[in-house]
Structures are given as structure tokens and as C-alpha cells.
A and B are shown apart, each in its own frame.
Chain A
């Protein structure tokens, strides 16, 4: 008998429900098998064009998430952060929050309400939060905290006319046509395994896979050529590649002439980035740099993927515009297999919406720059009268100790919780949140420019509700219910009505609706946006697309020649109608706003014998544990549970550190102790710690590495590294540093 690959369990089940996984922006289709409304098994949906039946550990862990006894299932309240939490009913918690917030409005201090948001927030949180902020009249809504380079003021918007948060030119269905794929500062194998699938498929079809990052990862191990560069010098290496492309005549002159402006200025700016200087500055071999430029230059159709949900807040305007320039110089825009593809894109920027009740936040919006919560907590904590946040942002703040001291000054902190993580422990009120299997809603953030729908499969435990339900209930309690018309005062909510409202409001998604997205009523995969006309919700007829069956409705390639960008009369919606190459600067890392605050490690930093912090600390996603709803979940038999802080074995030997020894990492911002993990993938000058860990995590209870980072500049990106020193616990710090300096000086 021939055995078949069937996405089916052998357990007894009565019905199959289809939904979309919301654990990461890959947006996989799932089949959930139910026996009398109890989930018996979960499989990837073989008809879904993204995962085609596969399912990554994050998706599989949803099976365990539903049964996890650590989940928070009742609303809780306490007076101060030192008191224990008391269980209350949902309505009591809402009324209590509304009273406190309305007191701010009565004093005319609407802006004292801060609603935090990040780009990984589910649509149900960000849509409700943004609408609530506008209606309430606070200028400090969630969009203020989104990364600046991806926003409307970032370099990508000036370059292509579309903001970085919305720029994914070629959908993953087209990635198989690439002849060369450059993965810039993203470890997709660890963070988005399913999105890595079409890239490996393209490689198996003969495409060159190139990676640039500060650490050797599973992703870079699959690459034809991977460059491990000095942390923070990534944009320099891109400029070195651009220099080589120009020098060797690999520039697509026809495309540059027809579709771009500012090429001559770019040429003169890039002149000083000679291969020898760049290779030395970036810690790479010159021949590797030249080989990478050669592979990029000789491949017709280059695709660049820059950042992912976890690394994009650390990418600067320089990084993004250099990636964009690379694609333009190779003429790979608007053709199959090309494109600058920024992951985790969303059609919703939440910058326009219905009028607010005070009528003043709209004109104040322009004056409020993108910023970071840690800056406000350190510089002006008194300006925060109430803070509402979700997930686990507190360990992701730089300058941890000082920022968290600022949190203790805030009179009211509301957390929408799933698990008892660190952010939950910094809150006065905790609302229990449903998992995405427990409510229906829109999936707007995606690695493939798709919008999808997820269905409610099982009933939420305890008093858990969806984030949009929370915002709607809070709005009703604050007498602003008319703006949240999809929810009744009695607590019932029509999720489809809400989603349809937001879809219609957004010009980029106006022809979509929840019914057209539902995987139980349509071919799974959702719709590609922009979908502005009725015809956009049909399958695209194109001879280029591989496998008609695995296609998604909508436009797979943006900026095609002789077409107009949706809602405009131009191919590129910039002022000139062409791509502007003027955004790249001729400096290594420009920091004009604060010249003393250089985000650059001097090449000769080790020659100074008195240097206090000789090592470079970087961070990233850990493969072994899945961070789910701000909490590390694992059901794998992993035996690295007691190994966290990665260090090169040579450096470790100098410091007398072995696996599992407690390593202390320290700088002026604070101290972290974590069990060491000897790892060959790191440069001897670099230390790596997983981001997002906090002392309340079940498997990896140590302080977050980001607490040792310096605060970012306003309207900028987060720091990508920090200078530290390290030693074995119990050893002399000064002596260890001297040994370290002697060793690093020999490299």
C-alpha cells in the first residue's frame, strides 16, 4: 500500500474548522480537528498557499497553549505595584479603568493617556487602540511608538512613495523567480520558518542565497555566501557592494535612467566606500565582499529582504535606503523575482480615521514625533497619567533599570495579559486576553502582503476576551460607544461588522470584506492588498506565476512597467514619479541629530588600553523556545535550558568560562547574569543574548539584554548593539578585562 502525506489525525474527530495562525506574520492556514467542540489535533492546511500543509513549532504549540495552566483567565486589580492582585469581574475592571481615565479627560489632560503599541500587535489590539486614542483625544496613541524608518517620514517613503511599513513589492508566490536573494539582518529560519520555505525553494531552483548579519545562524548556514559583519556596520557593507556594482559596470543603466533620480549624486557619495576600506571596517574578507558583489551583479533579478518582525525596529533609514538602492541599481523593481520586500507589512497605518470628540488630536498629530517609551519614562515620567499596553514590551526597553524605575511613578498601568510575564508584573490592572483560536478577527500584518481572517474555534477560558472587545467595552464605559458601533453595551460584539468597517475605511483594502477573506468560505490564503477595485479580489492571470493552484487572489507584483500604483496616476507614487536615490548619505553612520552620540564602533577601539567595555553585545530570536504572547513556551525536549548567553569558545577560554558557568555581562547601564553557552557562530569580540527574556520567564529567567542598551534617539531606530564587558561569576572583573584586552588585541 502506498502511504500518502495527509494532514489528518488518527484520533477520533467529528468536524474540521479552518483558520489562520496569528503567532507570527507568516500567516499560515490551519486545520483544527474537533470532537464535540474540544480540539483533538491541529494540522497545517494543505490548500493554503503559504504553508501548503506544513506547520512550524509556534503553530503546533498553540495546541499546548490552550491547555497551559499558567494562562491568566480572570481580570485582576491592585492599588500599588507592591500589593498582591485581587480577582474582580470583567465589568468591574472596565468600570474602574474608565473612571480613572475619564478623570484625566475632566482635568483636560487627555494627552496624559499613553497607549503603547508595537508592530507585532494583533489587528484587534492596534485597530481598537488607535480608534480609542483618536476618540479620547490623546496624541499619544499606538502609532507614535512604531519604528520611524518604516513610517511616513522614513527614507523608504521618500524613496519609493510608499512607507516602509507597507512596502513588499513581490509576494512570496513570486520569490521562486529570483536568481539572487539577499537576506539582510534577518534570521528567518529562527523567526519565520514558513516564510523561509519559498526562499529555500528558490535556492533549490538555482537562486543564489546571500545573507548579511552579525552572527552565523541557521539561515546563513543555508546560504551560498553569508557575511558575518561587525555589529552596526551593515549599511556600510551595502554601500561597499553598491560601490563595486558601479565600478564593475553591473548597474542596469536603462532602468536607472528611466525610473530613478539622483544616480549621479549617489555615485559621488559612494566613491569613498572602496572594497579594502569597507572590508576592514566591517570585519570581512575583501574577496568575500567582492564575491558577493559579483553574485549580485551577475544575477538577473535580485530580491532583497530586509529585517523581520523582530529585527526591523533596529534597522535605520540608511540600512533601508541602501537595500532599496541595491534593488534599483540592478533594475529589479516591478519584474518577477525582484523587489525590495520588507516583511511584516500592513495596509493599516492608522493615521486617518473618524473625527475625535474633542476635535483637536488631528492637528496635533503632526507635532508628535515617533518615539520610544523608555525615552518618556526617563525624561518625563510625570507626563504619563495612565498607560495601557499589551504583550511584553517592558523587557524590550533600553536602559532597563532607569526606565522601569519610571514605570513605578505612573499612577495607572493597564495590561492586556495572556501570561504572567514581566509587563504583567508592572501593572495595576490586568485584563485576560483570548488567544487567536478563541475569537474571530482580521489578520492584517503579513510577510506576504495578504490580509486574512481567523475564526473562533474554541471558547475562551474564564473571562478571557479579545483585545477589540476590551477597547469597545472601555469606550462604552467612557461614553464613546457610538464610535465602536459593532459592540453593544451588553458586551456582545459583531467582529465581522468591526472588520468590515476598518476595511472599508482604508482606501488600500476598500474592496475586501470579512466574508471574502474567511478561509471557510473562500480558497484559503486571503487577499493581497492593495485591493481597491472589485476586480482586485480575483485570481491574477499571469503566465509568470508558479503553480496556479497555490496562488492568492490579488496583485502579486507591484510597480510593474506601464502600470499605475493603485489610487495614483504614476508608476511610483513619489512627487517626481521616479525612485529617488538621494536618501543615501555618504557617511558610514550619520548621526546629525547628535554628533557626539555616534552609533559606530571605532575601528581602532581596542588600541586604547583603558577601554572599559571591550565586547559588543547583540541580541536576537532564540530558536529553542517559542515566544508566544510575550511568554516563552516550550514543549520540546531541549537540553539547552540552562544555556542562554552565547560567547565564542576562544573568548570563553580566556575568561575561564565553560558551558553552563554563570557569566556576568556588565556596562554602565546595568548587570546581567546568565548561564554561558559556547557558540562558534559568534565573532570573538561579540556576545549574544536572546531578546525578550525577563526574570519571570519559566525557562530563561534572566534580565533582558536590551536593558544594557543605550536609549535610542527620537525619530530613529533602536540601537543594534551595546558595548559591555564580561567575566565569570566570582572572578575578578578588572583582571578578566585585562586578559580580554590582551586576547582581543591579538585578533
Chain B
């Protein structure tokens, strides 16, 4: 499982070599240039899971907070999710995959973290957030499949060519 943010405005460009990854690995691609921070993904997650699991919120928080808590202000709004990595963090609130502290003591996996809507995937469907995204910002598929999406995204950069005369 992987969450990939793409934008033509990122300063650091790391080309994705799809062949160096498992082609069957599931990837969620967030096109940052189209995201308008509307929060439909967050609500979609809540509608999908909120009632059945009986939890108060969404697995898809969209705020990135400032690290200094006393100066807390939003830096940006983006569709985020726990990436199930090996280093626990506090970004994703109570729905972090890791419930343990960052020091690494007593790590435990949290069973109610984002699982890319595994039930929907079993029924052959995209996760709820990607399905309901207002601006078609979120794509979903295997590494193999998102190659097309990323290629198209690269082509779109033609949009920045100056038109003169």
C-alpha cells in the first residue's frame, strides 16, 4: 500500500520507476494540482466507515499541522492517510496505523487504520474517497495501472507553455 502525491510544482522531482516496485502493489495517487481542499474525501470516509465501525471520525484527515503546537495553524489541506510505514507519527491523529509512541516502545498495530476500503476492493471497486472525490484528484490502482495516469499528468505540463503572438 502506498500513497503518492504528485504535482508539477514540486521542487524535488523523483521520477517513479514503476519497474523497481512490485507492479501489483496498490497505490493511491493524489494530484495536488487539482485538489481544492473541499473535504469530500474526509466525509466520504465517514459515510463509508463512520456508522458501521462506530467511530467518531474519518480515516482521512486533510489538515497538515504545524509541528510547534502552540503556534498551531493550518499549512495546507490535502487528502492524507496513514501509510502503514515503519515509523509511527502523529500526523494522522487517532487513526494512525501504529498506536505506540514514536520512541518505539511497545509498538502495536491499530486495527482501525485506513485500509484503502478493503471491503470495496473485494467487491472490485475503488476506495470511497477516490470514488467520491469532487475534482477527480484521487486515482487508485496498482503500480502498473497508475503508470498511465502519471504519464497523462506529465503530458498536461504542456499547459504551462507560453502562448505568444
**Contacting residues, chain B, for A204 (C-beta < 8 A):** 33-34, 156, 159
Separation of A54 and B33 alpha carbons in the complex (Å)? 17
**Contacting residues, chain A, for B40 (C-beta < 8 A):** 54-57, 60, 193
Separation of A263 and B55 alpha carbons in the complex (Å)? 64
Q: Is A197 an interface residue, CB under 8 A from the partner?
A: yes
Separation of A7 and B32 alpha carbons in the complex (Å)? 23
Q: Is B113 an interface residue, CB under 8 A from the partner?
A: no
**Contacting residues, chain B, for A2 (C-beta < 8 A):** 141-142, 145
Interface residues of B in 149-165 (CB under 8 A from A): 156, 158-159, 161, 163-165
- Tell me if A3 and B141 are in contact (CB < 8 A): yes
Interface size class of B (residues with CB under 8 A): 35 or more
Name the distance in Å between A295's Cβ and chain B's nearest Cβ.
9
Closest to B152 in A: A204
Separation of A57 and B142 alpha carbons in the complex (Å)? 28
- Having A10-B125, A200-B36, A636-B39, one finds 14 other A-B pairs with CB under 8 Å, namely A2-B142, A4-B125, A53-B131, A56-B134, A60-B132, A193-B38, A197-B134, A205-B156, A205-B159, A219-B36, A636-B42, A636-B43, A636-B58, A637-B56
- Tell me if B123 and A10 are in contact (CB < 8 A): yes
Separation of A222 and B158 alpha carbons in the complex (Å)? 16
**Contacting residues, chain B, for A678 (C-beta < 8 A):** 73
Q: Is B74 an interface residue, CB under 8 A from the partner?
A: yes
- Tell me if B36 and A218 are in contact (CB < 8 A): yes
The 9 closest A-B pairs by CB, nearest first: A189-B36, A206-B159, A637-B57, A60-B43, A6-B125, A5-B126, A193-B38, A193-B134, A56-B134
Q: Is B81 an interface residue, CB under 8 A from the partner?
A: no
Q: Dominant SS at the A interface?
A: loop
- Tell me if B57 and A5 are in contact (CB < 8 A): no
- Tell me if A7 and B165 are in contact (CB < 8 A): no
- Tell me if A55 and B73 are in contact (CB < 8 A): no
Given contacts A10-B120, A60-B40, contact A54 B135 (CB under 8 A): yes
Name the distance in Å between A676's Cβ and chain B's nearest Cβ.
11
Given contacts A298-B164, A298-B165, A623-B38, contact A193 B131 (CB under 8 A): no
Closest to A55 in B: B132
Given contacts A5-B130, A60-B43, A636-B39, contact A659 B73 (CB under 8 A): yes
Sample 26 A-B pairs with CB under 8 A, ordered by A number: A1-B124, A2-B141, A3-B125, A4-B124, A5-B125, A5-B130, A10-B119, A54-B132, A55-B134, A56-B40, A57-B40, A57-B134, A60-B43, A60-B47, A189-B36, A193-B135, A194-B134, A197-B135, A218-B37, A219-B36, A222-B33, A222-B36, A623-B37, A636-B43, A636-B58, A637-B58
Q: Is B44 an interface residue, CB under 8 A from the partner?
A: yes
Separation of A636 and B37 alpha carbons in the complex (Å)? 12
Given contacts A43-B131, A54-B135, A637-B58, contact A3 B126 (CB under 8 A): yes
Separation of A10 and B131 alpha carbons in the complex (Å)? 13
Separation of A55 and B158 alpha carbons in the complex (Å)? 29
Q: Is B79 an interface residue, CB under 8 A from the partner?
A: no
Q: Is A203 an interface residue, CB under 8 A from the partner?
A: yes
Q: Is A563 an interface residue, CB under 8 A from the partner?
A: no
Separation of A228 and B83 alpha carbons in the complex (Å)? 37
Q: Is A635 an interface residue, CB under 8 A from the partner?
A: yes
The residues of B with any CB-CB pair to A shorter than 8 Å are: 33-34, 36-40, 42-44, 46-47, 56-58, 61, 63, 71-74, 93, 119-121, 123-126, 130-136, 140-142, 145, 156, 158-159, 161, 163-165
Q: How many pairs of residues, A versus B, come closer than 8 Å at their CB atoms? A: 122
Interface residues of A in 344-360 (CB under 8 A from B): none
Q: Is A478 an interface residue, CB under 8 A from the partner?
A: no
Interface residues of A in 557-579 (CB under 8 A from B): none
**Contacting residues, chain B, for A41 (C-beta < 8 A):** 47
Name the distance in Å between A348's Cβ and chain B's nearest Cβ.
29
- Tell me if B43 and A61 are in contact (CB < 8 A): yes
Separation of A193 and B120 alpha carbons in the complex (Å)? 26
Taken residue by residue from 597 to 619, chain A's Cβ proximity to chain B (1 for < 8 Å, 0 otherwise) reads as 00000000000000000000000
Count chain A CB atoms within 10 A of each CB in B74, B121, B158, B164 and give the residue with the most: B74
**Contacting residues, chain B, for A205 (C-beta < 8 A):** 156, 159
Interface residues of A in 1-41 (CB under 8 A from B): 1-8, 10, 41
Name the distance in Å between B23's Cβ and chain A's nearest Cβ.
12
**Contacting residues, chain A, for B141 (C-beta < 8 A):** 2-3
Q: Is A196 an interface residue, CB under 8 A from the partner?
A: yes
**Contacting residues, chain A, for B34 (C-beta < 8 A):** 200, 204
Contact for A193 among B36, B58, B73, CB less than 8 A: B36
Separation of A299 and B140 alpha carbons in the complex (Å)? 35
Closest to B140 in A: A3
Given contacts A54-B135, A54-B136, A57-B43, contact A6 B61 (CB under 8 A): no
- Tell me if A54 and B43 are in contact (CB < 8 A): no
Closest to A194 in B: B134
- Tell me if A189 and B37 are in contact (CB < 8 A): yes
**Contacting residues, chain A, for B73 (C-beta < 8 A):** 659, 678
Name the distance in Å between B41's Cβ and chain A's nearest Cβ.
9
**Contacting residues, chain B, for A189 (C-beta < 8 A):** 36-38
**Contacting residues, chain A, for B133 (C-beta < 8 A):** 54
Name the distance in Å between A100's Cβ and chain B's nearest Cβ.
43
Q: Is A179 an interface residue, CB under 8 A from the partner?
A: yes
Interface residues of A in 723-741 (CB under 8 A from B): none
Count chain B CB atoms within 10 A of each CB in A57, A63, A189 and give the residue with the most: A57
Separation of A467 and B87 alpha carbons in the complex (Å)? 56
Closest to A7 in B: B131
**Contacting residues, chain A, for B159 (C-beta < 8 A):** 203-207
**Contacting residues, chain A, for B161 (C-beta < 8 A):** 206
Separation of A206 and B145 alpha carbons in the complex (Å)? 25
Separation of A7 and B123 alpha carbons in the complex (Å)? 12
Separation of A57 and B124 alpha carbons in the complex (Å)? 25
Name the distance in Å between B70's Cβ and chain A's nearest Cβ.
8
- Tell me if B145 and A44 are in contact (CB < 8 A): no
Name the distance in Å between B125's Cβ and chain A's nearest Cβ.
5
**Contacting residues, chain B, for A57 (C-beta < 8 A):** 38-40, 43, 134
